[in-house]
């Protein structure tokens, strides 16, 4: 008898002996499972697997290494766990006939429960989508329901989104400082955070159409961008060029500007500065002449008004520079100087006035006809209706969604949503642009002039915002980046209004808590409005 045969016989004998001993003191067919470390081990392995998989999908440098390690640990834990189960079932003989029947019945019930879960989910979806009830407006999804594509959000953004929904649902009165987390922050700390974002940046993770991004970034540049030319020395015609687009720093703003740099073939650099108000401002800057004329200018083709004419003037300046290389003429110098100064008519950052600059080259105003500048001014502005993505770019640059609290008849007050699509410098060109935006949105031309007559705003209030603007914004929520919180909060408040919850004491209290849960500039405190709610008389809902 060899050693292998002896071991097998010994194992069978041990099993029979164990079963015979069990029958002397165990009078039931089941058994209690012994304590095991493998379920806990496997739980941590699967958690690590999920986190590392998300990191790998979003291009983190350490994601793939952690993913491989997590897969190995998961397989290792599964093997050891099943090893114990097999030993219990075979050598220890714990899986009696009754135990096997229980395992089979449990598995069958598990499969049935899963079938019922999916059946109920798809049944509810089909019931609501194929035949929407009148109570939800006769359409599905309901217009105020916020729907987002899961592949457009990374793990941390999803957690932040659900945290917003949770805190607003629970009406927590503690201020939410996430929107101003970089206020008065250290400049070095922000730069270090940007370097981490830049090192882990993966353009493919955004899943955005390049042409759609082009429309969006054109709108953002219309609101927040600048492009100009300047003379490097007072007594010289040598020019420097400057293109910049910026925003208050947030991780989302950094990703947008990094994506712009990606689509502009990697040119340019980033600058950071602390504003007087205490915010950290991030700018994407291009100063190389060839990069501006060969890459930047051809990319920004959806502009309007002053921004469009600035690009046309720069193209004319580029032609004049090339002509000056063939020989200097006074007329060329006159056209160059007047064009450069027309890019910045207010004279900001100019050491010399236009007259002083011309006198350096023995040229006087009126020496030549301004035919070139006049021809540019005769060019018609862009009359195409702006795309919704261009409008969104304008909105997140210089627009806002906010809420007005107005006392009509004490103690009753009203909550009114206000949407400033964009605020621009008061000019004929910008009025034309705001008119085109209103026409594109299918809304009346509500253009307001501010008190100082410096800015004009396309402004809408009340139901127009809920029924028209918010629906369009929710359909394109992935383009709002650092202003997603505004749209999310608006959708929650819109749902409360559509269900007429704001007409109840509890609903109005919930709205006040939501409004004061984020940084705001209301003159009155939250307690003031809550006291007014207590003094109001609400109609009781009829059952």
Q: Is 444 helix (H, G, I), strand (E, B) or coil?
A: coil
Find out whether 505 and 536 touch, Cβ atoms under 8 Å. Answer: yes
DSSP secondary structure letters along 112-162: HHHHHHHHHHHHHHHHHHHS--GGGTT-SS-TT-----GGGS-HHHHHHHH
Give every CB contact of residue 391 below 8 A, 6+ residues apart in sequence: 219, 421, 422, 437, 440, 441
* C-alpha–C-alpha distance, residues 101 and 103, integer Å: 5
Output 25-30 pairs: Cβ under 8 A, ≥24 positions apart: 29/96, 29/97, 29/98, 29/99, 30/96, 30/98, 30/99, 30/102
Residues 142-150: what's their mean pLDDT?
50
Residues 249-259: what's their mean pLDDT?
93
Residues 527-534: what's their mean pLDDT?
87
The predicted-structure confidence for 284-309, as pLDDT tens digits, reads as follows 999 999 999 999 999 999 999 889 98
Find out whether 330 and 414 touch, Cβ atoms under 8 Å. Answer: no
Residue entry with tokens 């909105």: 395
Say what the pLDDT of residue 372 is.
Answer: 63
Least confident of 39-43, 331-335, 418-422: 331-335
CATH number of 3-95: 1.10.287.70
- Confidence class for position 227, pLDDT limits 50, 70, 90: very high
Token code pair at residue 81: 């766990």
* pTM score, whole prediction: 0.66
Token code pair at residue 508: 């109005």
Token code pair at residue 436: 């085109």
Residues 4-11: what's their mean pLDDT?
53
Question: In the predicted model, is pLDDT for residue 193 greater than 60?
Answer: yes
Q: Residues 415, 420, 425, 427: is their CA dihedral positive or negative?
A: negative
β partners of residue 476:
none
Question: In the predicted model, is pLDDT for residue 221 greater than 90?
Answer: yes
Residue 225 burial (10 A CB sphere; 0-12, 13-18, 19+): buried
- Confidence class for position 406, pLDDT limits 50, 70, 90: confident
Q: CATH topology of 187-378 equal to that of 388-535?
A: yes
Say what the pLDDT of residue 365 is.
Answer: 73
CATH superfamily of 388-535: Homing endonucleases (3.10.28.10)
Q: Is 276 helix (H, G, I), strand (E, B) or coil?
A: coil
Question: Residue 402 to residues 219, 267, 405, 462: CA-CA distances in angstroms?
Answer: 21, 37, 10, 11
Q: Is 421 helix (H, G, I), strand (E, B) or coil?
A: strand
Question: In the predicted model, is pLDDT for residue 345 greater than 60?
Answer: no
Output 124-133 pairs: Cβ under 8 A, ≥24 positions apart: none
Residues 334-346: what's their mean pLDDT?
79
Cis peptide before 141 (omega within 30 of 0): yes
Say what the pLDDT of residue 339 is.
Answer: 87
Half-sphere CA count of 397, side-chain side, radius 13 A: 24
DSSP secondary structure letters along 468-530: IIHHHHHHTGGG-GGGHHHHHHHHHHHHHHHTTGGGSHHHHHHHHHHHTTS----SS-HHHHH
Find out whether 528 and 534 touch, Cβ atoms under 8 Å. Answer: no
* C-alpha–C-alpha distance, residues 117 and 273, integer Å: 54
H or E element at residue 241? strand 239-248
Question: In the predicted model, is pLDDT for residue 268 greater than 80?
Answer: yes
Domain ranges for the chain: 3-95, 187-378, 388-535
Say what the pLDDT of residue 28 is.
Answer: 67
Q: Is 285 helix (H, G, I), strand (E, B) or coil?
A: strand
Question: What is the architecture, at CATH level 2, of domain 187-378?
Answer: Roll (3.10)
Q: Is 330 helix (H, G, I), strand (E, B) or coil?
A: helix
Rg (CA), the chain: 34
Mapped to the 3 state alphabet, what secondary structure does 343-395 carry? Answer: CCCCCCCCCCCHHHHHHCCCCCCCCCCCHHHHHHHHCCCCCCCCCHHHHHHHH
Question: In the predicted model, is pLDDT for residue 314 greater than 60?
Answer: yes
Say what the pLDDT of residue 25 is.
Answer: 55
């Amino acid at each position: 008898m060899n050693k292998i045969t002896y071991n097998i016989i010994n194992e069978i004998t041990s099993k029979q002996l164990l079963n015979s001993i069990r029958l002397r003191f165990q009078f039931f067919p089941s058994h209690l499972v012994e304590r095991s470390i493998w379920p806990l081990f496997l739980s941590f392995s699967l958690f690590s697997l999920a986190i590392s998989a998300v990191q790998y999908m979003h291009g983190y440098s350490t994601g793939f290494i952690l993913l491989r390690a997590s897969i190995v640990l998961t397989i290792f834990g599964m093997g050891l766990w099943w090893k114990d189960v097999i030993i219990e079932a075979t050598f220890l003989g714990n899986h009696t006939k009754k135990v096997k029947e229980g395992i089979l019945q449990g598995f069958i019930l598990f499969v049935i429960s899963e079938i019922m879960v999916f059946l109920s989910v798809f049944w509810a979806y089909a019931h609501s989508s194929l035949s929407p009830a009148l109570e939800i407006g006769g359409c599905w999804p309901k217009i105020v329901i916020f729907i987002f594509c899961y592949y457009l959000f990374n793990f941390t953004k999803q957690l932040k989104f659900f945290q917003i929904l949770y805190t607003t649902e629970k009406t927590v009165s503690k201020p939410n400082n996430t929107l101003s987390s970089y206020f008065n922050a250290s400049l070095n700390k922000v730069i270090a955070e940007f370097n981490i974002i830049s090192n882990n940046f993966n353009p493919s993770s955004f899943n955005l159409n390049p042409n759609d991004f082009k429309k969006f970034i054109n709108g953002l540049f219309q609101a927040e961008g600048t492009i100009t030319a300047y003379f490097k020395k007072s007594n010289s015609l040598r020019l420097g060029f400057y293109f910049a687009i910026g925003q208050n720093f947030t991780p989302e703003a950094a990703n947008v500007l990094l994506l712009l740099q990606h689509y502009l073939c990697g040119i340019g650099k980033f600058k950071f500065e602390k504003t007087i108000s205490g915010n950290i401002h991030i700018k994407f800057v291009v100063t190389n002449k060839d990069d501006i004329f060969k890459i930047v200018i051809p990319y920004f083709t959806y502009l309007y008004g002053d921004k469009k004419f600035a690009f046309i003037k720069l193209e004319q300046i580029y032609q004049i520079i090339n002509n000056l290389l063939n020989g200097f003429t006074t007329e060329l110098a006159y056209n160059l100087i007047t064009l450069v100064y027309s890019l910045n008519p207010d004279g900001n950052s100019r050491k010399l006035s236009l007259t002083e600059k011309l006198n350096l080259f023995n040229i006087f105003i009126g020496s030549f006809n301004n035919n070139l500048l006049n021809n540019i001014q005769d060019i018609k502005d862009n009359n195409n209706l702006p795309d919704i993505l261009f409008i969104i770019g304008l909105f997140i640059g210089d627009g806002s969604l906010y809420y007005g609290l107005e006392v009509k008849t004490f103690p009753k007050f009203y909550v009114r949503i206000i949407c400033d699509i964009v605020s621009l410098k008061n000019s004929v060109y910008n009025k034309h642009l705001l008119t085109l935006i209103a026409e594109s949105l299918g809304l009346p031309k509500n253009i307001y002039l501010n008190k100082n007559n410096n800015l004009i705003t396309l402004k809408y209030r009340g139901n127009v915002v809920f029924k028209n603007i918010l629906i369009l914004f929710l359909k394109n929520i992935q383009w709002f980046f650092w202003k997603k919180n505004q749209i999310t909060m608006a959708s929650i408040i819109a749902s409360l209004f559509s269900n007429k919850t704001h007409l109840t004491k509890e609903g109005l209290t919930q709205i006040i808590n939501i409004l004061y849960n984020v940084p705001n500039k209301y003159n009155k405190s939250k307690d003031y409005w809550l006291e007014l709610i207590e003094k109001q008389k609400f109609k009781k809902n009829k059952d």
